[in-house]
């Protein structure tokens, strides 16, 4: 098979509520330039572009953000922009993408790439994807995920338990089970035992495989997708069916209910899903005073803090290990380690 | 004399740099509604109005803020608005006011009222002013100041040492000496000994008295004022002389160098010069969670903090005893007790 039939499906429908007040309804997390000069979406597509031409990169996004995608990815073909009428999480988004792939290439292989990850070493990432393609070539019904070797006892990620290696497929193993986000003690154990990997949310499968799994585990969603397929291009149908879909991730809805044919590639590169402002503190370089500073910020007697402004001046005195973020939509102030609680504010953005 | 010749001179030329980012060049502290629905200036004038008609209230202000004064005090007669071409501190402002009083009423008595104090009990304040007027009636050359009975070992104020009582003048005493801002240990001693009072910066004297004192202690400034008097109404003269004035407070330049004729009225009412955000925390009522909240603020697990927004939403998580202030000009974050250091940011407002 090689990579002739591989398509990347970049999922950019998430809101990134924990990055309030930068991430907003108008400009969600994937479109922000949180690290470096590119948005997370642009960086994700660049990584895919190491292996794939533009014609085989699809981006699934809420319809309100079509303009942002066109602005940030002007080379993306129009037919490759999948607009979700409502956010219904990854099962519905992936199902919709499978329908479009079916039209573009019946033999399509789908690499699902969340648009909001931080992966500094794009080459190592591409090498892992190639290993995953090799697994898919070896047998028709594999579901392959990329597990990331953990570097800290992270409680914010799900984990994969790595099973027996797949013969003749370097870097690839069976997945024994999925683990929900652990508590700190459990996470420390998982880190020590060497058998557990972070669930990156990157999945690869044939178009036919995922459609079969959706039909088996999520028959209601699949029935809706079939009606969308029959009425392809009819706006009303798409809207009606999406409105009725449950919000469900493909992890919960499909993968955790599978009982075999689950493989993983052991990724050994730096990876972060940038789940919160604390994560950003981890990946951005600090200045000599230990602060991560973006924008017009004056930190006085301030250390170990993340201070970001997209507009106004921000002045701090006597802070340590704090997060301060100011945008035109709001101001957030919280100590490091508490930024998971930011999500609650995002809903009420004006 | 009664109060027939008394004029209030409200000094509103200060910048209030420690109230950045609310207090700015465009809208200094005295014009802010920091406490209640009135600006500090409006509240100051209201207190004076308990005793005096509008015709005998003068407001001295930087010329950039004439519009703000007219907006906040529409009843103020035009001739009672004194515009300082540059901020030159209180000696020059009071000297300028004395020239205008000379024109309005040669026998004028001047009550100097800083525009940015917080005095909740206006009646008690007025009673103290009346006691001061009585001192001025008793002898022509008195300088009378109002001392405030201290309620805490405040290191941010200057103090007056109270001397012998003035016979037949209830509440009035000689001033033995002025004390600069003390350190904490000294302030605790001053609080205990009962002889020391806060220097409120409220002064009363005859127009002739202060002019004599300026001529004696600040002959250069007085010479400039005399040239302004000769060229009264000529803009160029006023600008040239003000440009040449030293920045000097009447406290340092005159009062602390006097050797007698200094009286004080012992004020026993709540008074605060609102020198910083910490002061505001003292005078504003806290909610049940111990926070002082103004504007669109969402404090989560936050206690003992002052959080103010004039525009954007401000969300805080897990703060205690912090000061957070957001305006269109900037965002300030600092722990309580550090707000004296805010002054440094004010200079660079855009």
pLDDT tens sequence across B174-232? 999 999 899 999 999 999 999 999 999 999 999 999 999 999 999 999 999 999 999 99
**What confidence score (pLDDT) does residue B16 get?**
83
A341: which chain B residues are within 8 Å (Cβ-Cβ)?
300-301, 317-318
Dihedral, B55, B221, B86, B46 alpha carbons, nearest 10:
-30
Helix (H, G, I), strand (E, B) or coil at A56: helix
Does residue A214 contact residue A224 with C-beta atoms inside 8 Å?
no
* Joined tokens for residue A106: 């019946």
**What confidence score (pLDDT) does residue B348 get?**
44
Distance separating alpha carbons of residues A153 and A92, to the nearest angstrom: 31
Which residue from A312, A319, A342 is facing B317, i.e. has the nearest CB? A342
**Residue B223: how many CB atoms within 10 A of its CB?**
14
Distance separating alpha carbons of residues A26 and B237, to the nearest angstrom: 56
Which residue from B20, B315, B333 is facing A330, i.e. has the nearest CB? B315
The contact set of A with B (CB < 8 A) is 20-21, 298, 300-301, 309, 312-319, 322, 324, 326-335, 338-339, 341-342, 344-345, 348-350
A54-113 pLDDT, tens digit each = 999 999 999 999 999 999 999 999 999 999 999 999 999 999 999 999 999 999 999 999
**What confidence score (pLDDT) does residue B347 get?**
67
Range A97-129 burial, b when 16+ CB lie within 10 A, else e: bbbbbbeeeeebbbbbbbbbbbbeebeebbbbb
- C-beta atoms of B317 and A338 within 8 A: yes
Q: Is the dihedral of CA B173, B177, B178, B180 positive or negative?
A: negative
Distance separating alpha carbons of residues B96 and B109, to the nearest angstrom: 14
Distance separating alpha carbons of residues B136 and B350, to the nearest angstrom: 46
Distance separating alpha carbons of residues B95 and B210, to the nearest angstrom: 8
pLDDT more than 70, % of chain A = 98
- Average pLDDT on A235-243 reads 96
- Candidates B330, B341, B342, B344: best to mutate against A (most CBs of A within 10 A) is B330
If phi > 0 it is left, if psi is from -120 to 50 it is alpha, else beta; for residue B105 that is beta
**What confidence score (pLDDT) does residue A95 get?**
98
- Candidates A277, A296, A307, A318: best to mutate against B (most CBs of B within 10 A) is A318
- Name which of A190, A171, A165 is nearest A180 in CA terms: A190
Minimal C-alpha gap between B289 and chain A (Å): 17
A344: which chain B residues are within 8 Å (Cβ-Cβ)?
300
- C-beta atoms of B316 and A324 within 8 A: no
Write out chain B in H/E/C secondary structure.
CCCCCEEEEEECCCCCHHHCCCCCCCCCHHHCCCCCCCCHHHHHHHHHHCCCCHHHEEEEEEHHHHHHHHHHCCCCCHHHEEEECCCCHHHHHHHHHHHHHHHHCCCCEEEEEECCCECCCHHHHHHHHHHHHHHHHHCCCCEEEEEECCCCCCCCCCEEEEEEECCCCCCEEEEEEEECCCCHHHHHHHHHHCCEEEEEEEEEEEHHHHHHHHHHHCHHHHHHHHHHHHCCCCHHHHHHHHHHCCCCCHHHHCHHHCCCCEEEEEECCCCECCCCHHHHHHHCCCCCCCCEEECCEEEECCECCEEEECCCEEEEECCECEEEEEECCEEEEEECCCHHHHHHHHCCCC
Q: Answer with the residue of higher pLDDT: B93 or A276.
A: B93
- C-beta atoms of B314 and A298 within 8 A: no
Does residue A83 contact residue A62 with C-beta atoms inside 8 Å?
yes
Distance separating alpha carbons of residues A4 and A2, to the nearest angstrom: 6
**What confidence score (pLDDT) does residue B345 get?**
86
The contact set of B with A (CB < 8 A) is 20-21, 298, 300-301, 309, 312-319, 322, 324, 326-335, 338-339, 341-342, 344-345, 348-350
B334: which chain A residues are within 8 Å (Cβ-Cβ)?
316-319
**What confidence score (pLDDT) does residue A129 get?**
96
pLDDT at A1 over 60: no
**What confidence score (pLDDT) does residue A253 get?**
93
**Residue A184: CB partners within 8 Å, gap ≥ 6?**
A153, A155
pLDDT at A151 over 90: yes
pLDDT at A257 over 70: yes
Domains, chain A, in order of start with CATH, read 6-267 (3.90.550.10), 277-346 (no CATH)
- C-beta atoms of A333 and B350 within 8 A: no
**What confidence score (pLDDT) does residue B68 get?**
96
What residues form DSSP beta bridges with A83?
A: A61
How many residues make up chain A in this entry? 350
**What confidence score (pLDDT) does residue A28 get?**
92
Angle at B36 between CA B31 and CA B37, to 5 degrees: 65
Q: What is the ipTM of this complex?
A: 0.81
Least confident of A200-214, A335-349, B97-111: A335-349
A342: which chain B residues are within 8 Å (Cβ-Cβ)?
315, 317
Confidence of residue A347 (pLDDT cuts 50, 70, 90): low
- Candidates B321, B331, B332, B344: best to mutate against A (most CBs of A within 10 A) is B331
Minimal C-alpha gap between B26 and chain A (Å): 16
Which residue from A300, A326, A327 is facing B341, i.e. has the nearest CB? A300
Measured between alpha carbons, how far is residue B217 from residues A294, B20, B308, B338 in Å? 52, 34, 43, 36
Strands A109-114 and B109-114, bridge-based pairing: unpaired
Confidence of residue A350 (pLDDT cuts 50, 70, 90): very low
pLDDT at A348 over 50: no
**What confidence score (pLDDT) does residue A349 get?**
38
Minimal C-alpha gap between B120 and chain A (Å): 30
Distance separating alpha carbons of residues A75 and A85, to the nearest angstrom: 23
**What confidence score (pLDDT) does residue B92 get?**
97
Q: How far apart are the first and last CA of chain A?
A: 49
**What confidence score (pLDDT) does residue A244 get?**
96
Backbone angles phi, psi at A223, to 5 degrees: -60, -40
**Residue B123: CB partners within 8 Å, gap ≥ 6?**
B50
Helices within chain A (DSSP H only): 40-49, 66-72, 89-104, 122-138, 184-193, 207-217, 219-230, 235-244, 250-253, 277-283, 343-346
> What rounded mean pLDDT belongs to chain A?
93
Does residue A18 contact residue A306 with C-beta atoms inside 8 Å?
no
Does residue A191 contact residue A148 with C-beta atoms inside 8 Å?
no
If phi > 0 it is left, if psi is from -120 to 50 it is alpha, else beta; for residue A13 that is alpha
pLDDT along chain B (350 residues), means of 10: 86 89 90 91 97 97 96 96 95 97 96 95 96 91 96 93 95 94 95 96 97 97 98 96 95 89 94 90 90 95 95 95 95 92 69
């Amino acid at each position: 098979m090689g990579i002739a039939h591989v398509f990347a499906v970049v999922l950019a429908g998430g809101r990134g509520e924990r990055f309030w007040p930068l991430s907003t309804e108008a400009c969600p997390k994937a479109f922000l330039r949180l690290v470096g000069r590119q948005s997370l979406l642009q960086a994700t597509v660049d990584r895919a572009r190491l292996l794939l031409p533009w014609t085989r990169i699809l981006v699934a996004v809420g319809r309100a953000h079509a303009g942002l995608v066109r602005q940030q990815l002007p080379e993306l073909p129009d037919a490759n922009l999948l607009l979700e009428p409502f956010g219904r999480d990854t099962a519905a988004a992936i199902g919709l993408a499978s329908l479009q792939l079916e039209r573009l290439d019946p033999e399509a292989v789908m690499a699902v790439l969340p648009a909001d990850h931080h992966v500094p070493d794009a080459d190592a990432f591409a090498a892992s994807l190639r290993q995953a393609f090799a697994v898919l070539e070896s047998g028709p019904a594999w579901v392959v995920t990329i597990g990331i070797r953990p570097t800290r006892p992270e409680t914010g990620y799900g984990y994969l338990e790595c099973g027996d290696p797949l013969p003749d497929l370097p870097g690839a193993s069976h997945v024994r089970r999925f683990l929900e986000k652990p508590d700190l003690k459990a996470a420390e154990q998982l880190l020590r035992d060497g058998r557990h990997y972070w669930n990156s949310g990157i999945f690869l499968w044939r178009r036919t495989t995922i459609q079969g799994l959706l039909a088996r585990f999520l028959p209601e969603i699949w029935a809706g997708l079939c009606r969308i397929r029959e009425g392809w291009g009819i706006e009303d149908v798409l809207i009606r069916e999406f409105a009725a879909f449950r919000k469900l991730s493909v992890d919960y809805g499909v993968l955790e209910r599978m009982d075999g044919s689950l493989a993983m590639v052991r990724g050994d590169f730096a990876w972060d899903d940038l789940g919160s402002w604390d994560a950003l503190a981890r990946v951005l370089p600090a200045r000599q005073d230990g602060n991560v500073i973006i924008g017009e910020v004056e930190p006085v007697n301030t250390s170990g803090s993340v201070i970001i402004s997209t507009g106004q001046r921000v002045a701090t005195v006597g802070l340590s290990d704090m997060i301060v973020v100011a945008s035109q939509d709001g101001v957030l102030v919280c100590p490091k380690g508490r930024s998971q609680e930011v999500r609650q504010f995002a809903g009420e953005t004006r």
